Homo-oligomer: A and B are copies of this chain.
Amino acid sequence: MELSNLNIEKYLKQNGIKPSYQRIKIFEYLVKHRNHPTVDIIYQELVKNIPTLSKTTVYNTLKLFLEKRIIQLIVIEENETRYDADITTHAHFKCEKCGRVYDIRVDLTEMKIEGLKTFQVKENHIYFKGICEKCLKENK
């Protein structure tokens, strides 16, 4: 199922999450923007339309989504936790100029790693840092 045309209420239910108004809006934000936001970004954007929203609710909800495995955590910088509703295997690129986090499609099937044979791998994470195309063009 594509994230973009998803019945969010149904999707939350399917994953054992009661679809409250706040939960729907938070998940909807992740799906619609796909910008790998921090808690603060989500809160600042949603509180415009939900004035009673509490940042604690955003924290609680994201923690619940993580437990139910419908989002993933992205940690690139220390003290900057981001969230992603795309739970397929993909890498990220963070631009050190503009701060944007891009999705990067990688093929991991070919990557056989000798040193991991005896380990039980549950998650893999790949990310890059540098300067994005947009910023490279602007600084010319």
Contact = CB atoms under 8 A, between A and B. Distances in A.
Interface of A: 73, 75-79, 81, 91, 93, 95-96, 102-106, 110-111, 113-116, 118-133, 136
A133 B115 CA distance: 11
A114 B113 CA distance: 21
5 contacts: A93-B119, A95-B119, A106-B111, A125-B128, A126-B126
A116 B104 contact: yes
Q: How many copies does the complex hold?
A: 2
Contact of A76 (B75, B105, B106, B130): B75
Contact of A78 (B75, B91, B114, B118): B75
Nearest to A95: B119
B131 A119 contact: yes
Contacts of A104: 113, 115-116
Contacts of A133: 118-119
Contacts of A136: 118-120
A105 B114 contact: yes
A113 B104 CA distance: 8
